[in-house]
Structure 1
Amino acid sequence: MMKWTRLLLLMLPLTVSACGNETHGDLEAFIKNSGKGLRGQVTPIPEVQPYTHYPYSAFEMPNPFKPRKSKHIKGEGSGLQPNLDRHKEVLEKFPLESLKMVGSLERNENFYALIKAPDSSLHRVKVGGYLGQNFGLIANISESEVNLKEIVQDSIGDWAERISILMLED
């Protein structure tokens, strides 16, 4: 093994020195002559046409990014208004779609509904109470449903009454 290492160490300087004496005259001559006679051809810049002004005539048209003004005067509807001054009940902070009727009770001929809120709390409600975010007044309670009269605002700002039903969950 030692013999081979010595032999390789002696051969390495010989191979490196063999590459150093060669001249690259033919390569240098090719590089000098390869660029001769080449001329770039640049096309002339085209003539620029003068700008012609185009009059913008859509200033009088409606802006699609602004809401349109209604021809109806806001608040000329039925005169129905929710009572904004009354104290809000606990279940009025939840949307009606997130509330679930899970049962009903009858006590002294009065019906009560058991309503489960999204935070998993259980509430007992009776006729005259409120549910949901649309001023939903409880009009009637039966064993299988709660009938509500909601007061909602339409697109022109008038208040309208809407009947909603909260069904018993299976």
Structure 2
Amino acid sequence: MSRTAIAMTAAMLAATLLAGCDSDEREVRDWMAEVQRDTKPTVKPLAEPKDFIPYAYGAKGETDPFSPNKLMTELAKADVASADPNKPDLQRTRELLETFPLDTMHMVGTMAKGGASYALVQIDRSLYQVKPGQRIGQNFGVVTRVSDDAVNIREVVQDAAGEWVERMATLELQSKETGK
């Protein structure tokens, strides 16, 4: 078979196929028109809306249960009634070293004076003498022991439940070589 004969056969086959597609498309369009004519949409009617009856709040003069003032009052009552042995004296006057947080303090040495051991604590550019029993830090800390290389401190803090708990902290001697 020559090329022209193959090309002619292919063209006739394509024309036949296209003629068949046209009749299929017409059948589909006729079917869609028939279904559209015969189909009647049905919509369920909506239910009648319910009548709204407003609620009258009768406790206008009462204390708001969500008031922060009520919560603070109840917490204060519970705090006074509490017999927590770790609770610090919140009414006493604070000492000077209680105004600084422990992380701003650096132990730089020790000294003995009158038979008592003192730690030398530096805060910014000032130097302070610290001895056992002295108050220190912002968490109601009390110095429990002064040694040649550390100051031991017992702090009292509130946990998540509001209970007063003890925790231990230490200020260690800062060496000049390491720059700590």
- 2:92 aligned residue: 86
Gaps of 5+ in 1: 1-72
What's the RMSD between the two structures over aligned residues?
2.1
| Amino acid of the structure 2 residue aligned with 1:128 | G
Deviation at 1:109, TM superposition (A): 2.5
Alignment of 1:32-47 (within 5 A): none
Distance 1:85 1:143 in 2: 34
- 1:97 aligned residue: 103
* Residue-by-residue CA offset, 1:39-93 (whole Å, 9 max, x unaligned): xxxxxxxxxxxxxxxxxxxxxxxxxxxxxxxxxx976685421112222111111
Contact residue 152 and residue 159 of structure 1 kept, 8 A: yes
Q: So what's the TM-score if we normalise by structure 2?
A: 0.50
SS in 1 for 2:154: strand
- 2:130 aligned residue: 125
Identity %, equivalent residues:
39
Distance 2:149 2:108 in 1: 9
Distance 2:107 2:93 in 1: 23
SS in 2 for 1:102: strand
Contact residue 140 and residue 147 of structure 1 kept, 8 A: yes
Q: So what's the TM-score if we normalise by structure 1?
A: 0.53
Q: Does 1:142 align with 2:155?
A: no
Aligned length: 98
Deviation at 1:115, TM superposition (A): 0.7
Consecutive aligned runs of 4 or more in structure 1 exceeding 2 Å deviation: 73-79
| Amino acid of the structure 1 residue aligned with 2:94 | K
| Amino acid of the structure 2 residue aligned with 1:122 | L
SS in 1 for 2:93: coil
Contact residue 91 and residue 117 of structure 1 kept, 8 A: no
- 2:174 aligned residue: 169
Distance 1:127 1:114 in 2: 12
**More RCO (CA 8 Å, sep 6+):** 1
